Chain A
Amino acid sequence: MIANIKKYKELMYFLVHKELRIRYRNSLFGFFWTLLEPLGLMLIYTLVFGYIIQLDKGVSPYPLYVLAGLIPWTFFNNSVRKGTRALSGNASLIKKVYFPREIFPLTMLISNMVNFIPAFALILVLAVVLGHPMQWSELILLPLVILLQALFTLGVALLVSILNVYYRDVEFIINLVMRAWMYMCPIIYPIHMLTGAEVSSTVKDFAGLYFLNPMAVIISLYHQPFFPDQGPEIKYVIYTVILTVVLFLGAWYLFRRMNRRVGEVI
């Protein structure tokens, strides 16, 4: 894979560049949408979930909490959704000429990452503006968290992109799954809500399983520098790292195998 990346560096650069340009073409604010979109969502969520439904208990300031979870989630969400169409959307090219097809999910991930990094800086800016204290020791570990998330996302993207070539149903399933997945992550509510006094006993019974969701762990890792009590236990972090590696290797293997028939079924 590494050798391929080196050889096709130019192609990947071209594809990422094109992807980014197309995304913001004909839009007045262009690249600023990367920042405007999460800010807008933050406002909506703060209004709806903070003021109306009042999920903001124990996390203050709530807008910062929402933004710190929402931005990494948007990165994951966009990458997976776009990832489903990474191969099937490029069918005409794939049918015409051969080059390593993993380049498509990979460039899609990279272009989403290019959008993610400045949006991520927005969290820091907001924290500074609000005068919120930050744990510097954990803040410098965030690049590792980003790397972990990128690897996990790439694993999922490889999997859904190749499956969608064979069964277009994957696209519809993914739309639904991603919606459910978002609510299974601590984005609009703090994690202690799951074990709090006022929740139903069913929720409490399943609260122990909550961190088996790797995205819940990853999102919590993003919260940690700003809200130290919102971080996951270390055992769940280790679990997520192992799961990510296994998922990536499994997805890679499956991609390689299923790739053989892509040229004819796409």
Chain B
Amino acid sequence: MEAIVVNNLTKHFRKAYDKTLKGFFISLVKGEKRHQEFTALNNVSFQVKKGESYAIIGKNGAGKSTLFKVLSGIIYPDSGTVNVHGKVAPLIELGAGLSRDLTGAENIRLNCAIFGLDKKTIEEVYPKIVEFSELEEFIHTPVKFYSSGMKARLGFSIAIHIDADIILIDEVLAVGDKDFKKKCYAKMNELRDSGKTIVIVSHSMKPLRDICDRALILDKGKVVEVGEINEMIDKYQSDKKTKKKKKQKGA
């Protein structure tokens, strides 16, 4: 069974979007186009099976984050379809939004509530989240005083405990320390074995080899190739190298 089915997904962004009424009227009177279009995703299609770990790799600006946002429902595609079967939990940056004055404990409650958990379930998972994040000591400290590593730990703990079917992970993990990273990878393997679907957007290749089954290479908004993880990473890295060589020759 498929957990995520994406068909012919295309997303344009409007560049230089004028946020004032003045700009809007001026260009309206002049009869010029009010924005430049920029294609972030171009006819992207892929499927992620249920219980699979899937990596989306690509350079900066390849459209990874846009794809991530479309999958989590933050932005709507211009055309094409995205079908997600099951509850999605994106691993979100903590302290984002609302008041940064909220404590770790409040952030846990807030994020759980955002994913639609009821009070009883929140009380149930709360101690587990705190335990996994290893932040017992600082849980009543406002998140604004947290280091980025602490934020990442708490964020990851929340995302894996809200019992979602599909977990989306953007390269937040890069900040945690070695031990915590190890713990995360172990947990991800555990989650995958228990039938959850994991999608990771990343450009740090090493851990992906252990966790993921398949990968998709994205370049300039287009799908380059989809295949087995090691094969894809090798291909991606060799592409990078040849390009570098070409550049050197050109110079």
List A residues at the B interface (Cβ < 8 Å): 7-11, 13-14, 18, 22, 90-99, 166-169, 260-261, 263-265
Contacts and interface: CB of A to CB of B under 8 A. Distances in A.
Contact of A14 (B92, B96, B110): B110
A102 to B, nearest CB: 14
11 contacts: A8-B113, A9-B118, A11-B116, A14-B109, A92-B96, A97-B72, A97-B74, A98-B74, A99-B116, A169-B21, A264-B13
Nearest to B101: A22
B145 interface: no
Interface of B: 13, 17, 19-22, 24, 69, 72-76, 90, 92-93, 96-99, 101-102, 106, 109-110, 112-119, 122
A166 to B, nearest CB: 7
A226 to B, nearest CB: 40
Given A18-B98, A96-B97, A98-B73, A168 B19 contact: yes
Contact of B76 (A18, A92, A166, A260): A260
Contacts of A10: 112-113, 116-119, 122
Contacts of A169: 20-22
B96 A168 contact: no
Contacts of A263: 69, 74-76
Contacts of A166: 19
6 residue pairs, one from A and one from B, having the closest CB atoms = A93-B97, A98-B73, A11-B113, A263-B75, A263-B74, A92-B97
Main SS class of interface, A: helix
A93 B107 CA distance: 12
B98 A96 contact: no
A96 to B, nearest CB: 4
B91 to A, nearest CB: 10
Given A167-B24, A263-B75, A96 B113 contact: no
Contacts of B117: 10
A96 B96 CA distance: 8
Contacts of B116: 7-8, 10-11, 99
Instruction: Select the residue from B17, B96, B119 with max chain A CB neighbours within 10 A.
Output: B96
A96 B19 contact: no
Nearest to B22: A169
Contacts of B109: 14
A22 B101 CA distance: 10
B130 to A, nearest CB: 18
Contacts of A261: 75-76
A94 B20 contact: no
Contacts of B21: 167, 169
A5 B96 CA distance: 23
A95 B99 CA distance: 15
A246 B194 CA distance: 50
A22 B98 CA distance: 11
Given A10-B113, A18-B98, A96-B93, 8 more contacts: A8-B113, A10-B118, A10-B122, A11-B110, A18-B99, A22-B101, A96-B74, A97-B74
A94 B119 contact: no
B98 A97 contact: no
B114 A97 contact: yes
Contacts of A18: 98-99, 102, 106, 110
A11 B122 CA distance: 11
Nearest to A11: B113
A90 B19 CA distance: 17
Given A11-B113, A167-B20, A90 B98 contact: yes
Contacts of A98: 72-74
Contacts of A14: 109-110, 113
A93 B98 contact: yes
A141 B96 CA distance: 44
B90 to A, nearest CB: 6
Contacts of B114: 11, 97, 99
Given A10-B113, A18-B102, A263-B75, A96 B92 contact: yes
A95 B74 contact: yes
A124 B220 CA distance: 66
Contacts of B122: 10
A34 B66 CA distance: 44
